[in-house]
Amino acid sequence: MPPKNADEKKRDTSLDLDVLRELRNIDQSLISLKAAFEKLKSAGDLTDDDIDVIMQEFEDFVSGKVTQLDKVRNDLRALYERYYEKYHDRAIVSVHGGVCHGCFVTIPPMRLDIIRRMDSIEFCDNCGRILIWESE
């Protein structure tokens, strides 16, 4: 297979970033769903039908996550899975106000520029999480 040119690499990176954004959205939804389930469960407000509905929704999110993970290159998937375990479901975080929203460490301006341009997959120098630019 011939080496990829710059446009192909940028397109691949863009696709990876799109998948990572979707994974982050799924992870955030799963966190919210788990929290809502625990709150309702502790209040005793769940019927068996409610639990079935919540479990189906949970399974749908997990299925979507597996589909997205299958689109990511193996090295990036391995990093994502390692940080997902390490940081309890928050492997991919956004950058707001020049700060990593995983560990809240300020990111140097030059790195921010790289993250903002989305030319490559970037990781926090402090916590290692995958960084995604979100418009402010």
Q: Which amino acid is at 102?
A: G
Please tell me the predicted confidence (pLDDT) of residue 3: 56
Please tell me the predicted confidence (pLDDT) of residue 30: 86
Please tell me the predicted confidence (pLDDT) of residue 101: 92
Please state, in angstroms and rounded to a whole number, the distance separating the CA atoms of residues 28 and 32: 6
CB atoms within 10 A of CB 20: 21
Please tell me the predicted confidence (pLDDT) of residue 6: 63
pLDDT of 57 over the 70 cut: yes
Q: Locate all alpha helices (DSSP H) within 70-108, ordered by sequence.
A: 74-86
**pTM for the full predicted model:** 0.76
Instruction: Using CB atoms within 10 Å of the CB of residue 32, give its burial: 0 to 12 exposed, 13 to 18 middle, 19+ buried.
Output: exposed
Higher pLDDT, 10 or 134: 134
Helix axes 48-69, 6-43, angle to 10 degrees: 170
Q: Which residue has the tokens 């955030």?
A: 28
Please tell me the predicted confidence (pLDDT) of residue 8: 66
Please tell me the predicted confidence (pLDDT) of residue 119: 78
Please tell me the predicted confidence (pLDDT) of residue 109: 92
CB atoms within 10 A of CB 79: 18
The CATH number of domain 6-133, selected from 3.40.50.10880, 1.20.1250.20, 3.40.630.30, 1.10.287.1490: 1.10.287.1490
Please tell me the predicted confidence (pLDDT) of residue 5: 67
Please tell me the predicted confidence (pLDDT) of residue 31: 86
Please give the mean pLDDT across all residues of the chain: 85
Residue range 73-127, pLDDT digits in tens: 888 889 999 998 998 878 999 998 899 999 999 999 999 999 888 878 899 999 9
Domain ranges of the chain: 6-133
Q: Are 101 and 61 contacting, i.e. CB atoms less than 8 angstroms apart?
A: no
Q: Which residue has the tokens 């399974």?
A: 59
Strands 130-133 and 92-96: parallel
